[in-house]
Chain A
Amino acid sequence: MEKQLDDLKAIREMMERSTKFLSLSGMSGVLAGLTATAGAAFAYFYLLRDPVAASYGQMYKMAILLADALIVLFLSVSFGVYFSWKKSKKNGYKFITKVALNTAYQLFMPLVAGGIFSLIFLYRGDVDMVLAATLLFYGLALVNVSKYTFSEIHYLGITEIVLGLFAAIFLTHSLLFWTIGFGVCHILYGVIMYRKYDMKK
C-alpha cells in the first residue's frame, strides 16, 4: 500500500513539474506590491498633487512618470527572478528549464503587447488610460500564464482585469485602482501564497 501511494505521489509530481513552473515565491509578490505602492505614492505626491509640478511641461511630466514606472517594473521583475532562483536552488532543481522558459514566454507575450499599447497612450498624454491598460493587460497575462504555474494566479489575473476595467470607467480614480491592483492585491496574494507553499517546506 505504501509503495502504491508513493507511486501515485511521484506520478503527480512528475506531471506537475514537467509542465508547470513551481519555483515562483510568494515573497516576490509581497515585494512587487510594496514597490508598486511606493511608485504610485511617488507619482501621486510629487507629480499629481504637488503644486510645483503644475509648472512642469507635459513632456517632462511624462518622462518622470515613465521613469517611475520602469523602475517599479525593473525592481518587481528582479525580485521575481531572484526569489524564484532562490527557491529552485533550495529545492535542488535547475532554474532555467524548458518549462521555465515557456512560462516566461506565456507571461511576457501579452505583457509586451500591453506595454507597447500603454506607451502609445502615454505619448498622447493620457495617463489614466495607461493605468487602466497596464492593469488590464497584466491581468490577461496572468490568466494566460496560470496554466503553466500555480493555478491560483488565475484569480489574481481576474481581479486585475476587473480593476483595469473599473479604472477605465472611473478615470479620475485610475491611480487608486492601479494601487489596489498592483500594490494591495500583490501583497495579499504574496502573503497567501507564501503561507500556503513556502512556509511549510
Chain B
Amino acid sequence: MLTTDDAQAEHYLRLRRRLADGDVADVAATLAELARQVRQADLAMIRRAGLGHIGSDFSVIDILVTLYGAVMSVDPRAPLAADRDRLILSKGHTAGALYAVLAQCGFFAESALETFAGPLSPLNGHPNRTKVPGVETNTGPLGHGFPVAVGVALASRLSGSGHRTFVILGDGELQEGSNWEAAMTAGHHRLSALTAVVDRNMLQQGARTEETKRLEPLADKWISFGWDVRECDGHDHRELLAAFAPAVGDRPVCVIAHTTKGKGVSFMEDRVEWHHKVPSQEQATTAFEELAR
C-alpha cells in the first residue's frame, strides 16, 4: 500500500484553501496549469511503461483536475475519512490520469509514478484500492463503477454523512447494461448527492460511438431515467466548475462533459488509434513541446 506524501499533501491543502477564496478566473487558470502538469506526468509514465491509454487519459484529465482541485472535499492525509467525498473512476483504463492527479494531491509520492505498470508496482494498469490510497473501488471491466457509486450515495444518505459521490463514465462504456440498472436505481431513490460525469469524446476503442452502437439522444436517456442533465465543455474549467455545483432539487445530476480524446496534443486529438497507442520518442518530443506551451 502506498502512503501519503506529507509535504505534497500540505502543498495541496494550502492550494485548496487559496482557491476557495479565489475568483473564478484565478481558479480556472490554476486548474489549467495543474492539468498541463498532469498531462506531462502521464505522458512520461506511458513512455516509460510502454503502455497506457493516453487518448482516454487526456480526455478525462480536466474533469479529474477540476474535481480534485476545486470541488471535492478530500484529505490525502486521511484517505479513508468517513465523510470524504468519493470519486469513482469507472473508466478504469484511465488509471494513469488518476494516478498522476492523486500524486499531485499527495495521496502518495510522485516518484511512485515511475513504477507505473512495472513488475510488482502498486500502480497496475487499472486502479486497485488495496494498494493505492484515494482509489475507492477496483475498476477495469466497464460498467462496474456506477452501481458502486450508487451504493456509496445510498450509504451517505442512510448514515447521514452527507458527503458527495462522483462517478466518471466513458461514453462508450454506457453500452454496458449495468449502467442503466444503476441509473434507474439512483433515479428511483432520488440520490441528489450523486453526480455521474460522462466523458463524451464520441470515440470508443475501435471506432466512433455513434457508428458502433448509437448513444444519442444521450441527454434524453438520462432525463427519462430521472436525472438532472447538465452539458458542458469538458476541457473548460469554468464550465466544469459550474456543472459540478450541488444538485438543485432532488434528482441526481448527470454532467455530459463534451471532450476530445487525446486533448492537448494535436496529432492525437479525436483520433481513434490513440486510445491506447504509445507515442514513439519523436512523437513524445513533439507532444512534450505542445504541452509546454
B partners with A:
no
Binding site for A on B (CB under 8 A): none
Binding site for B on A (CB under 8 A): none
